[in-house]
Amino acid sequence: MLQSSSLSKSFGKLKALDQVSVTMQAGQAVSLIGPNGSGKTTFIKCLLGLVIPDAGVLTLHNKAILGTWNYRRHIGYMPQIGRYPDHMRVGQVFDMIREIRGAGQHDFDDDLIKAYEVDKFAHKAMRTLSGGTRQKVSACLAFLFDPEVLILDEPTAGLDPLASEILKEKVLAEKGKGKLILVTSHILSDLEELTTDVLYIMDGKVQFYQPIAQLKSRTGEEKLNRALASIMRQEAH
C-alpha cells in the first residue's frame, strides 16, 4: 500500500535518510523506533510531503506521491507538538480543517471528539489550552476524516493516563478496520500494545523491519524492550 524505495535525504553533511526501502500494507501497525536524531521524523515528514527527499520514490497505492498533494487526503497526521494560531478558538480550528479537507465528505469520525468532550472547551482560545489538551485536539483532527493511513508522532507524550488510554483504544479499533498505522514513540510498552511490526532506524538506515512476534521469538525474549535491547547488544558486538 505504502512503499518507499531508496529514499534518501541529507541536511548538509548529515545523512538523515540513507536508501530507506520499506513496504507497508493495510492492516499493519508499524512502530518507528530509533535514537533521537536517527531520521524517524524525517521519514514521516517525507511521507507527508513536508520534507522533500533528495532521491528515491514514494508510492501510495502504486502511485508516485512525491511532488503531488492530493494524496494527503488519505493521511491523518498527529504531530509531536501541535501548535495553532493563538487567537483561534478550538471550534474554529475544527471548522477550518473541515472546510479545507472535508469537502464532499459527510460522515466524520468524531469518536475522539466525543470521548475527549471537546464541546466543553470548544469556545476556548487555542493559546489558553494546556499542552495535553492541544494534543487531544491534534488527535481528534488526525482521526476526523477517517483516513486510510494514520501517522502518529509521539501520540501519548503529554496526554494524561485516561486520555492516553482512550487514544490507544481508538488506534486499536482503527487497526482492526484494516488501516495502515505508523507510530513513533519512546514508550515501548505503548508500542508493544498497539503495533504489529517494528521498523528500527539508526543514522538514517533501516536496521531491521520485522513483525514483533518474530522479533521476540528470534531473541527468545517476551518483552519488546528486552528483545530490542538484546538485538542492540548483538549489533554492538
Residues near another protein (CB under 8 A): 11, 45, 48-52, 69-73, 75, 77, 79, 81-88, 92, 96-97, 99-101
Q: Output the smallest distance, CB 48 to another protein, in A.
A: 5
Half-sphere exposure of 160 (CA within 13 A, CB side): 6
Q: Output the smallest distance, CB 59 to another protein, in A.
A: 17
Q: Which is nearer to another protein, 179 or 216 (CB)?
A: 179
The residues, any chain, with a CB within 8 Å of residue 117's CB and separated by 6 or more, are none
Q: Which is nearer to another protein, 134 or 179 (CB)?
A: 134
Q: Output the smallest distance, CB 32 to another protein, in A.
A: 16
Q: Output the smallest distance, CB 197 to another protein, in A.
A: 23
Q: Which is nearer to another protein, 45 or 216 (CB)?
A: 45
203 phi and psi angles, rounded to 5 deg: 50, 35
In the sheet that holds 63-64, the strands lie side by side as: 14-24, 2-11, 55-60, 63-64
Q: Which three cell numbers stand for residue 204?
A: 538514517
Q: Which is nearer to another protein, 108 or 209 (CB)?
A: 108
Half-sphere exposure of 9 (CA within 13 A, CB side): 26
